[in-house]
Amino acid sequence: MDVQKEYQSKLMSAEDAALLIESGDRVWMSCLQAPDDVLNALVARYRELENVQLNSCCLLSDQPFLKDPGTIGHIDYLTMFVMPPFERYYAPQGIFKVASVSFARLRYWLKEVCKINKAMTVVSPMDEDGYMYFGQQNASNMYYNCGIADKVIVQVNNNTFRIKGRDARIHVSQVDAIVEGDIPLMPYPMIPPSETDEKIADFIVPRIRDGSTLQIGIGGLANAVGYRLEGKKNLGVHTEMFTESMVHLAQKHVIKQKIISGFALGGTELYEYCSNNEMVNLWPLWDICDVNVIASYDNFVSINTCLMVDLTGQVASEGIGARPVACTGGATECVRGAVQSRGGQSFICLESTAKVKGETVSNIVFALPPATPVTVQRSDVQYIATEYGIADMYTQSIRDRALAMIGIAHPDFRDDLVRQAKEAKYIR
C-alpha cells in the first residue's frame, strides 16, 4: 500500500469532514484534546442536525453544547468524567448529561449504551509506515471507538506526540477523513501542595516500600506524595493518569519499572518525556482499571482523594449532594485491586475540613448529605487519611470504624461526632 497516496485521497477540509456527522449519530470525540477544527465546523451547523449525541469527557475548550439550551435536541453532550474548568462549571445547569461510569466498564458503556457509530480524534502526523498516534491525551479509548465506528475522522496535529502503548495508534487505512490543522497543547497546571497535603503525605510516604507499584491521581496531595519519594528504590507506575511527579521520579531513577498509564496530563515537559519513550506505555483505561491486573502486582499502592467520608467509611468523591464535580473513574477498582495485591495498600485521603460559604465544616460526617453518591463502598475501604492520621477501616466493625474516623477528624468537630455516634449506638 502506498500510504502517502492513501493519505492524500482522504484529505479534506474540516467543513467537509463535519458533514460526515448526520442526524441521529452517536459520536465519540477524543478526550482532553478535541479535534477543534472539526468540532467547530460541526457545532457551526448544529441547527441542521437532530438528535446527535456527542460523547467525550474532560473538555479543555468552551463549547455551546455545555451551556446553551438552544443546542438541546440538536447536539447533546454526554460526559463520562466531569473535570474543570468547563464541565464542572456548567454541570449544575443540567444542559448536558453526566454518566458516572467506572473506567473498567467503559467498553460496555461505549458499545451498548452510547452505541458509538462515528469517531473523531486528534492524531500525530503519519509515520513512514502509515500510523498516526493518538498522543499524550487520547490513547485511552480511541482505538476501540474507531473500531466500532462506521466512520472515523482524524485531525492531524503537528503538536501531538507519538507515545507508544497498547492500541495507541491507528493506520491510515482505518480512517475515512483526514483534516490537517495544528492545535496548541493545553497544559494542565500543576497544583502546588497545601500545608495540609504535606501533613497527609507525612503519614503516607513512610509506608510506601521499595519496589512498590503506584497509582496516584492528580492534585496537590499527589504532588506532595510523588515528589517525596526520591529516597525510594525500584518503583513502578500503573495508573490512570501519568503526571509530572512521575517524570521527576523517573528522571531521578527512582522509577525503574515500565510506566503504564491510561493517559498523560500536565505540561509540555511531561509530553516530551513520554514521546517515543520505550519506558512509557499507554493502555486502554479498562485494562488499567482491571482489578485482577492491579492485584497481580506485589506491593501495589493506590492513593486517591475524596470530598467527604461518613463515620462508617462510605466515600464520596463525585460530589456533595446532587451537584457533580467529578465521576467514578477508576477509584473502586484501584481500591479493590490494591487490597488484593500481596503487600498492597489503598489510601483515600481528604482534608479534615472545608470552607463552605465562609464557614468551616467537617469533611468527616455522621452521614453523607442527601443525594450524595457513594463512590467507594465502606466494605472496600482500607485506609482513610487526613492531616490528623490514618484510620484503618478494612473489615472493621462499625464501632471500630466510627472511633477510627473520629480520631482523624478535626478536633473542633470530634465532640459532635461522638454525640451523633452514641445516639446511633455506633459507640457506647
Backbone dihedral region for residue 98 (phi beyond 0: left; psi -120 to 50: alpha; all else: beta): beta
- Listed in order, strand segments (DSSP E) in 265-415 are 280-282, 300-305, 308-310, 315-316, 345-349, 353-356, 359-362, 364-365, 383-386, 389-392
C-alpha–C-alpha distance, residues 29 and 39, integer Å: 9
Note whether 76 and 57 are within 8 A (CB): no
Task: For 39-142, list the strands marked E by DSSP.
Answer: 52-56, 75-79, 97-98, 118-123, 131-133
The x, y and z cell numbers of residue 65, run together, are 453544547
DSSP string, 149-179: -SEEEEEE-TT-----BTT-EEEGGG-SEEE
φ/ψ region of 165 (left if φ > 0, alpha if ψ in -120 to 50, else beta) reads left
Residue 135 phi, psi dihedral angles, 5° rounding: 90, -165
Beta strands per DSSP E along 283-343: 300-305, 308-310, 315-316
Residue 385 contacts residue 199 (beta carbons within 8 Å): no
Grid cell digits, residue 227: 515528589
CA angle 66, 120, 174 (to 5 degrees): 170
Burial class from Cβ neighbours inside 10 Å (0-12, 13-18, 19+) for residue 348 reads buried
Query: Which residues, other chains included, contact 259 with Cβ-Cβ below 8 Å and sequence gap of 6+?
Result: 236, 237, 242, 246, 250, 279, 280, 281
Task: Examine residue 84 and say whether the peptide bond preceding it is cis (omega within 30 degrees of 0).
Answer: no
Residues 152, 17: Cα–Cα separation, whole Å: 10
- DSSP assignment of 85-113 equals THHHHHGGG--SEE---BGGGHHHIIIII
Yes or no: say if 283 and 262 are a contact pair by the CB < 8 Å rule: yes
Q: Catalytic amino acids?
A: 240
The Cα–Cα gap between 88 and 144 comes to 27
